[in-house]
Each structure stands twice: as C-alpha cells, then as structure tokens.
Structure 1
Amino acid sequence: MPFLDSNIVIVTWNGPHDPQDPFNWPLKKKWWATGLGLVASFICSVNGTILTVAHKSINDEFHISDKSFPYSYWPVTSWGVGASVCPLFLFPIMEDFGIRPVVLVTYFCFICFLIPVGLAPNFATLVAVRFFSGGCVPLMSDAVAGIVSNVFYGDQARSIPICLYVTVYLAATSMGPAMGSAILQFLPWRWIGYIELVWTTVLFPILFIGLPETRGPAILLARARKLRREGRKVYTVAEFDNTPLYQVLIRSIQRPLFMLCTESVVFVAALWAGFILGIIYLFTQSVEQVYGELYGWGPVETGYVQIAIVVGEILGCAFCMFTNHWYYASAVRNTETPGTPIPEARLYASIIGGLFGVTGGMFVYAWTSFSTIHWMAPTVGLTMIGFGITAVVIGNANYLVDAYSKYAASALGAVGLIENISISFLPLAATAMYTDLGLHWASSLLAFVSLLLVSTPFVVLKWGKEIRSRSPFMKEAIIDRRRESIPTAIA
C-alpha cells in the first residue's frame, strides 16, 4: 500500500500475485463466474424473440390486424428500442458499483418486467413492458462481457470466452422462436410469459449465492471500506475521481456517437453488424411466410425450424476458435509493431463467414424455396447463414477491440446501438418485401446487400495501415502496443 501522504493510504493489490485479484483466481473459479454469466445472458437474450411465434394468438385476443402493416411486431420493436437506449444512460452509472450488483439488480428488474407479459390486459401494456425488459438484456450482456475481461488477462486467454459469449447471445436469440413454439404447441400464448418467468426466477438465487465480484476496483473498494471501519484512512484511486455524474453520462453517450460519425471503420462495422442482427429477427417473420406458403406450416413448425440457425451459429463459433491461430501467425508479418499480431487479421473469419455463410446461405435459402423441393434444402441455407452470422460478429468485434484498444468499449457501444435499431425496424419490412418481391428475390436482395458488405474488409486489409494512421483513436492504440512491445531494461 503506497502512501499518498502521511495520513492517507492508497489501497492496491498486495503484489502481482494477490489471490483476490481476479486475474489470479484459479481457472475453475474464473469459469464458474463466466459460466453463471453466460447462463444468465442466455436466459435473458431468449426474451427478444420468444413471443414472435405467438403473434397470431396475440392478434386474435387484442384485435390486432397485420393486413396493412405488421403491427404484431411492435412488442419486438419496443424491445429493441429499449435495448438501444437504456445501456447508453444506465451502464456508465451501474459500472461504478461493480459487476455483481449490476448483474443482480438488472436480473431482478428483468424478472419484474416479465410478470406483466402473461397478465397484460391489452396490447399497449405488452408493448410498454417489453421496452423495459429489452433495456435490461444488453445491460446483462455488457456485464457478462465485463466478467470475461475482468478474470481473463490478454487476448489469447479471452478468445474462447469471448467466442462463447457472442455465440450464447446469438444462439439464444435464434432459439427464442423454438422455445416459444414448444410452449405454444400445448398451452395458450400467455403461458410463454408464465413459464419464462419461472425459469428466469429459478436462476436468481443461484446468481445471488454463487456469483462473485469480478471487477478489480470494486474488490479494492470493499477492502478499503473494511480498513476504514478499523479506523484507518484508506482509499482507492477511484475514490479521488470527482468527475460529476452528468459528465460521465455525456462522455458515455458522446464518444460512441462521435466515433460512429467520424470513424469510417466503426460506421461500416455498425452497418454490417446491424444487418447481421437484423437478419436474425427478420427470420422470425420471413421463415413463417416462406415455409407457410411452400409447405403449409404454421407458427409452431416454423419456430422449430429456426433451430437450424442455432446449429450454424455453434459451427461458426467452432470455426472462430479453430482459426484464432491465423491472427497470431500474422505477428511475423507485422512491420509496424514487430512481434504483435496485425489487427486486420481478425477479419479473415468475417470475410469467410460473410461470403460463404451469410451471402451463400441467403442464395441457397432463396433458390431452394420451391414447394417441389424438400424443406431440408432451404433449411441448409439457414444453417449456413447462422454459421456466417457468428463468424462475422466475432471477427468484427475482435477487430474493433484490437484496432481501438482502450476505446473499444465506445466503438462496440456504437455498433450495439445500430444493431438494436436494426432489430427494431428492419423486420417490419419483411412481410412487404417477401410479398412484393417474391420469396426468391427478397432473399436474393438480402444476399446482394451481404455481398456488398463483405467487400468492405478487403478495403481494410489493403489499406489498414493508412486507415489506422489517420484515426486519432487507432493511433493511440498503436502507441500503446509499441510501448507494450518494448522490453523492459534490467539494471
């Protein structure tokens, strides 16, 4: 504990091997905390799409018509808007309290907002409560990402947990319709809310008892408070930060928006991610329309078939883990910062996933959509798309983290904003698009858009060094990497 002056002590870790430092925890404890977070993230993320299969039942009960506009999608739209807005304002505040309080408070609020789903007396209530439950989910996801970064040190150690974190979120979103179908097949639609409330509540005491605090500053703060109760003048460095709350909020909102508008890489990554996530939610509309017209399937059957997307997402996760060595092997080619992997090497997985997965899968999904062709053929296309979705999201996220370093949270915040806006509004066009363009050309249009977006990483691969030299945020990351690569002199 180094002294600030004769009266005040700044509390720090007791050396590099302090057992309370989360980086020094046993591997079993690290994975326990990460696993609990992933389970909680899965349970919450399912909420985004689980109601989509019940839209006909909800429409009948509340007298909603989709004849002129897909009004039944409004509960998902409000969910996505809540997911866009709430993290910008709440996470900077909640982050100061540590990961454990954020997870427990957010999860408890999420449970509370599930209660009115099964009891909703009208459609407006359903739309309103979905806004708040949607706002809770990205807070949970960000907290889980925080657990990974708090307990695993270095990108190599974090690569597998990050792959699992992204895959769990995507797979949960794609599993929502199937889980809703499993309930709707036997029970009225309100039981989707009741049963989701039950399984969500069951996990809460496990989280409350078993989830440790993983945020280092929060652990040090608890240590300092304990020593102050013993009469010692002990503080953490963070306690001397007197930045007003409104400035924290302004910075939290301003920087992602500024980077979105001024950083071409962030802008394109956000567009690509928004398109990718929008596709998952668009499928909650288009799959029912395609399989309904071709094979006469109802919402329950089409909910089950979306499991094919989950299978593809799991395969995409395995692909990203397998190809991690491509990134590390790029270090021998790095002339800018010798011995350090090239950030653009992270995009190899995105290119393969975007080209052969999303684009190729869309074309397969489009041109096997004939009633004379077995339903497994377009389902293979869905699996390919799921594979590509995971590869693109993981590859792009890893690239932004490497390229922007300490500003990565703001870059990812900008991407998350566009993602949630996309899932809110893009699927609203699904019914009209597949009706006016037809089943084949509607999916083909999405394939061509995907093909256009896949071309952007090639620009970054060719001129990545020049792009980084012109970005003030990336230049600072380069300086940090050079400092890390300079060996410390031994006297």
Structure 2
Amino acid sequence: MVNLLAESVFGQLARTFSGGRLLQSHLQEPDFDIDNVQLTKNEEGDLVVGWCDDNDPENPYNWPFSAKVYVTFLLFIMTMSVYMGSSIVSPSIPELSTYFNVGTTTATLSMSLFVWGYGFGPLLFSPITEISWVGRNYPYIICIGLFTILQIPNALVDNVAGFMILRFLCGFLGSPVLSTGGATIGDIWRLEGGFMNGLAFWGFGACGGPTLGPLISGYAVMKLGWRWSIWPLLMLNGLVWILLFFTMPETSGAAILSKRARRLRKTMKNDRIKSESEIQDSALTTSTLVYNTLWRPFQLTFSEPVLLCTNLYIAYLYGIIYCFFEAFPIMLMGNHGFNVGEMSVAYISGYIGAGVTCLFYCLYNNKVVLPRFLAGKWRPEYRMEPTFLGGVFFPITLFWFGWTSFSAVPWIVPLIGFAFFVSGAFLLFQGLFAYIGENFPKYHASAFASNGLFRALVGGAFPLFATQMFNKLTLQGGCSLLGGLAVLLLPITFVFYIYGPKLRAMSKRTGY
C-alpha cells in the first residue's frame, strides 16, 4: 500500500536528511525481499529493473482506490486553482484601469498575459516531466510553490509594468498541471479502472475553473479593492502547495522505477542496474530536447490536418469563453443593474453546467465507452459522439445569450444559456482532447503542447477586443457574429467521425 506521506516530496527529503531512518520507502522496509525484484539483462549487459510482479505495491496502477481518488482530487483542485487565476482579476479591471491610469484594454492584459503564460509553459514543462529523474512531482511542487510566492509581489506592486510581468510569470509557472495533469491521471488509472472518468473530473476543473475566478474575488474587490483579486490566489494555492508537499506521491512509473534502480545500485553495489527509462534518457541530447520542445509541436500542427483543425476549433472555443468575461458586465451591470459582487456570483451558472455535464459524461463512459473498449470494438472516432451535442450547443447558446440579454428579459435566461454553453464546451474539450491523445500516442506531449499554445494565444487575445466588439455591434450582434463563426466549425467533428480512418492512414505519425 502506498504511503502518501512517505512517498511525497516531504517524505523523500526526510529520508535523505535522516540517512534513510525516517519514512522508509517500500524497498527499505524490513519485510521486503530484495530477491523478488525483477532484473532482466539486456543486450548491452545492463540489468534492467522492472516491477516485482503484477501486484507490485509501488506500481501506481496497484495503489488502493482511495489513494487514486485522493491524487485525482489533488490534480482537480490544483488545476482549478490555476485556471481561476486567469479570470480572477476580471472584476477588478475597471479599478486597475483607474489605479494604474491606463485604458481598459491595457488593464485587460492582466488576464490575457496570464493565459499566454500558461500557453507557453507546456513547451518547456511537458518534455521535462517525461525525463525519468525528474518525474511529475517536482515540477508540480516547485512551480506551484513559485506561483504561490509570486502572488505576494503581484498584490503589492505599484506599477503597471511590474503587475503585467508578474501576471505572465504566474501563468507560466502554473502551467505544469495544465499540460501534464492528464498524463498523471494515466499514470494511476487503467483504462478499464477509471481512467476516462478521472480524466473527465480533471477536465471539469479545467473547464469550470475560469468561471469560479470572479466568484471568488467579486465581493472582495468591491469592498477591499483590486489587490483582493490576487490575495485569494495566495491563500488557496498556499493550501494546495502544502497538500502537495506533504501528501502527493510520485505517479510516473518511469520515475519510480528509476528511483528503485538507484536504491538497488546502492544496496547491491552494482552500477549495471538501470531502469529502462534511465537507458533511454542517457541517449537524450540537448539538441533533441530543444527539438522536442520548440520545433516538434509546430511541425506536428502544420503537417497534420487533424491536429491543425482540432487546434483551431478548441482555440476559438477557448477565446469565446474569455469573451464572456467582457460580456457579463455589459449584460448584468449595464442592463440589469447588478453590482460587481452580484455579477461575479452569476458566473457560477457555468460551473454548475460543467459539473452536471461531467456527471452525465461519466455515466456515458461507463455505459457506452468502456463496454466498446472491453469488446475490442473501439476506434478513436467514437470520441466525436459527445462532441456532436457540444458542437450544436456552441452556436445555439451564443445566439441564446446574445438575444436574451435585453433588460426586458429576466437575467436568469441568458445565465441558463451560459450554463449550456459551458456544458457544450466541456463535451467538446473532452472529445477533442481524447481524440488528439489517441491519434498521436507517440507524440502526445508535443501535440498537447501545440494545442495548449494555440488555445492560450487565442483565448488571451479575444478579451482585448471583445468589449469594443460588443459596444460596436451590441451584445446581440457580437454574439451573432461569434455564433455564426461557430456554425462554420461544426462540420469538423463530423468529418473526423466519417473520414478519421482515412486521415490516419494518410499520416506517418498517428499510432492508433
């Protein structure tokens, strides 16, 4: 059974500084039989370390259900708290504009730069977490720790340049869980043992997180000023970091086996004992890492039509999500007389929409997806089935929100439309992300880094012109324009569903 405290970063440091006396690892326990460790000699004469057997307790797939649920919850709360950081400044934008004596568009950059930061972050962090001696845990701990610390100068800074730079750095440092959280889910859950629902729950945090940001800061900003759009991030992420530091175990099987190899080399005094990932990492050069980090994501994007179309679809959807942070003040404060706090509470409708949809999506996984997998009848194109509904929701809810935003229409009506919009966004994200992963299993880190960059660049850009667009075209005209463009994207998922096998056959990089 995994000991969360012993296998956390705190436990590892405690063992190191106590000479192995405190919080012993599985191999150090008195009743552990070292003869059970699997060592296989390869062609080079190295003894390659493997799992002891199918029930090896250090294998994350064999952890107790409660431990897996707990780790999944940590990923959820970590993801949600970072995504909240992008939109949490939304209620304070008018005050930021006044305080720093800048235009509203410049003040909105505080949201855009954060989003751009977590778009560029995965280009660096995704490949690093695949290195066996790094693993998943240390990037989480170090980056979330720095992310939390930076909230202090971010809340205290008195010049606009410093504020904007810190916002970008916070987004950049918050990105590891956004880029590798799905991989961590795959580390601990087998396909037939909860992977799909774990991924859906993590995706709920990603999809619902931005809608919680204004809810957390709205009344605080109204009563205490713009700095209280930042202090809640310090409090929440400080708590998250403490939980990670003391209770988050390493989940990467490659990293765990590398640690096992290091312990066995020391115990058995044999330098030929290695893990498979250590052997692979020894061949990794700086030029290869730079290629994988900076060039391959772009190469995949512009050479693979499936990835390019998916990136465009998700990026546009992401941009619309951030347009709502400009539309809500116009609709609720301008047309219905809400104050900042009341308007911020209204965003919870989107979170509720995502949560309810997540529950139904998990039922769909259990009743439809999993039986197909177990029967051997699965193909990646089936991932498009939920996106059909999400794709229809996308334009319809934009028209719904825009044309019910008049002051004569009860405010609850457009909020229901927003809830269905976020529901559709959740279904599109789940289906298209899974489709990318199944199409490019050998290059999933680069494919997801590419997608993350595309959606962040667009998502960060849309708020910069959204207010001007809505003021010029009205909410009705602006939402109609956005909804009409969404209609043009609707055929993409149907094309993938019908012609997906042919598109994969034309590619040299797809691996399903």
Instruction: Give the CA deviation at 1:316.
Output: 2.3
Query: Which amino acid in structure 1 is aligned with residue 458 of structure 2?
Result: S
Mapped contact 2:122–2:452 kept (Cα < 8 A)? no
Aligned-pair identity in percent equals: 24
User: 2:91 maps to what in 1?
Assistant: 53
Select which of 439, 447, 465 maps to 1:403.
439
* CA distance in 2: counterparts of 1:463 and 1:331, whole angstroms: 21
* CA distance in 2: counterparts of 1:362 and 1:148, whole angstroms: 32
User: 2:175 maps to what in 1?
Assistant: 138
Instruction: Give the CA deviation at 1:91.
Output: 3.1
CA RMSD, aligned part only? 2.0
Instruction: Give the CA deviation at 1:255.
Output: 2.2
* CA distance in 2: counterparts of 1:447 and 1:81, whole angstroms: 24
Instruction: Give the CA deviation at 1:122.
Output: 0.8
* CA distance in 1: counterparts of 2:147 and 2:55, whole angstroms: 37
Instruction: Give the CA deviation at 1:339.
Output: 2.7
Which stretch of the first structure deviates more once superposed, 166-175 or 452-461? 452-461
- 1:97-154 alpha-carbon deviations (Å, 9 max, x no partner): 0111121111111112211121111111110001111012221223422221101122
Select which of 112, 117, 125 maps to 2:149.
112
User: 2:158 maps to what in 1?
Assistant: 121
Q: 1:328 to 1:93 in 2, by over 3 A?
A: closer
Listed as ranges, the matches of 1:82-231 within 5 Å are 82-96=117-131, 97-154=134-191, 157-230=194-267, 231=269
Q: Does the alignment pair 1:239 with 2:275?
A: no
* CA distance in 2: counterparts of 1:196 and 1:56, whole angstroms: 20
Query: Which amino acid in structure 2 is aligned with residue 63 of structure 1?
Result: N
Structure 1 gaps of 5+ residues are 333-337, 478-491
Instruction: Give the CA deviation at 1:219.
Output: 0.9
User: 2:64 maps to what in 1?
Assistant: 26
Q: 1:331 to 1:162 in 2, by over 3 A?
A: closer
Query: Which amino acid in structure 1 is aligned with residue 95 of structure 2?
Result: S
* CA distance in 1: counterparts of 2:455 and 2:420, whole angstroms: 21
* CA distance in 1: counterparts of 2:87 and 2:245, whole angstroms: 26
Q: 1:294 to 1:80 in 2, by over 3 A?
A: same
- 1:139-182 alpha-carbon deviations (Å, 9 max, x no partner): 12234222211011226631100101111111111111111103
* CA distance in 1: counterparts of 2:90 and 2:288, whole angstroms: 39
* CA distance in 1: counterparts of 2:439 and 2:369, whole angstroms: 13
Q: 1:8 to 1:329 in 2, by over 3 A?
A: closer
Query: Which amino acid in structure 2 is aligned with residue 383 of structure 1?
Result: A
* CA distance in 2: counterparts of 1:8 and 1:117, whole angstroms: 50
* CA distance in 2: counterparts of 1:83 and 1:65, whole angstroms: 24
- 1:453-473 alpha-carbon deviations (Å, 9 max, x no partner): 112111222222221211122
User: 1:78 maps to what in 2?
Assistant: 113
Listed as ranges, the matches of 1:417-456 within 5 Å are 417-456=453-492
User: 2:3 maps to what in 1?
Assistant: none
Equivalences, count? 467
SS at match of 2:356: helix
Mapped contact 1:319–1:391 kept (Cα < 8 A)? no
Select which of 233, 247, 253 maps to 2:294.
253
* CA distance in 2: counterparts of 1:28 and 1:73, whole angstroms: 42
* CA distance in 2: counterparts of 1:176 and 1:273, whole angstroms: 21
* CA distance in 2: counterparts of 1:184 and 1:269, whole angstroms: 37
SS at match of 1:186: helix
SS at match of 2:408: coil
* CA distance in 2: counterparts of 1:432 and 1:155, whole angstroms: 49
Mapped contact 2:126–2:449 kept (Cα < 8 A)? no
* CA distance in 2: counterparts of 1:465 and 1:220, whole angstroms: 36
User: 1:344 maps to what in 2?
Assistant: 381
- 1:377-399 alpha-carbon deviations (Å, 9 max, x no partner): 11111111011110110111112
* CA distance in 1: counterparts of 2:313 and 2:342, whole angstroms: 30
User: 1:389 maps to what in 2?
Assistant: 425
Mapped contact 1:103–1:143 kept (Cα < 8 A)? no
Q: 1:3 to 1:225 in 2, by over 3 A?
A: same
Query: Which amino acid in structure 2 is aligned with residue 207 of structure 1?
Result: L
* CA distance in 2: counterparts of 1:466 and 1:146, whole angstroms: 27
Query: Which amino acid in structure 2 is aligned with residue 128 of structure 1?
Result: I
Query: Which amino acid in structure 2 is aligned with residue 36 of structure 1?
Result: L
Instruction: Give the CA deviation at 1:6.
Output: 9.8
User: 1:40 maps to what in 2?
Assistant: 78
Which stretch of the first structure deviates more once superposed, 71-80 or 234-243? 234-243
Instruction: Give the CA deviation at 1:278.
Output: 1.3
SS at match of 1:243: coil
* CA distance in 1: counterparts of 2:411 and 2:44, whole angstroms: 77
SS at match of 1:140: helix
* CA distance in 2: counterparts of 1:115 and 1:95, whole angstroms: 31
- 1:330-376 alpha-carbon deviations (Å, 9 max, x no partner): 679xxxxx933121111111110120x22221111111121111111
Which stretch of the first structure deviates more once superposed, 195-204 or 116-125? 195-204
* CA distance in 1: counterparts of 2:336 and 2:383, whole angstroms: 41
Which stretch of the first structure deviates more once superposed, 121-130 or 204-213? 204-213
User: 2:26 maps to what in 1?
Assistant: none
SS at match of 2:284: coil
Query: Which amino acid in structure 1 is aligned with residue 326 of structure 2?
Result: Q
Query: Which amino acid in structure 1 is aligned with residue 287 of structure 2?
Result: Y
User: 1:296 maps to what in 2?
Assistant: 337
Mapped contact 1:347–1:457 kept (Cα < 8 A)? yes
* CA distance in 2: counterparts of 1:91 and 1:461, whole angstroms: 29
Instruction: Give the CA deviation at 1:225.
Output: 1.4
Mapped contact 2:113–2:460 kept (Cα < 8 A)? yes
Which stretch of the first structure deviates more once superposed, 208-217 or 234-243? 234-243
Query: Which amino acid in structure 2 is aligned with residue 259 of structure 1?
Result: L
TM-score normalized by the length of structure 2: 0.87
* CA distance in 1: counterparts of 2:247 and 2:190, whole angstroms: 22
Structure 2 gaps of 5+ residues are 1-38
Listed as ranges, the matches of 1:373-388 within 5 Å are 373-388=409-424
User: 1:480 maps to what in 2?
Assistant: none
* CA distance in 1: counterparts of 2:450 and 2:127, whole angstroms: 14
Instruction: Give the CA deviation at 1:328.
Output: 5.0
Q: Does the alignment pair 1:317 with 2:358?
A: yes
Q: Does the alignment pair 1:467 with 2:503?
A: yes
Query: Which amino acid in structure 2 is aligned with residue 420 of structure 1?
Result: A
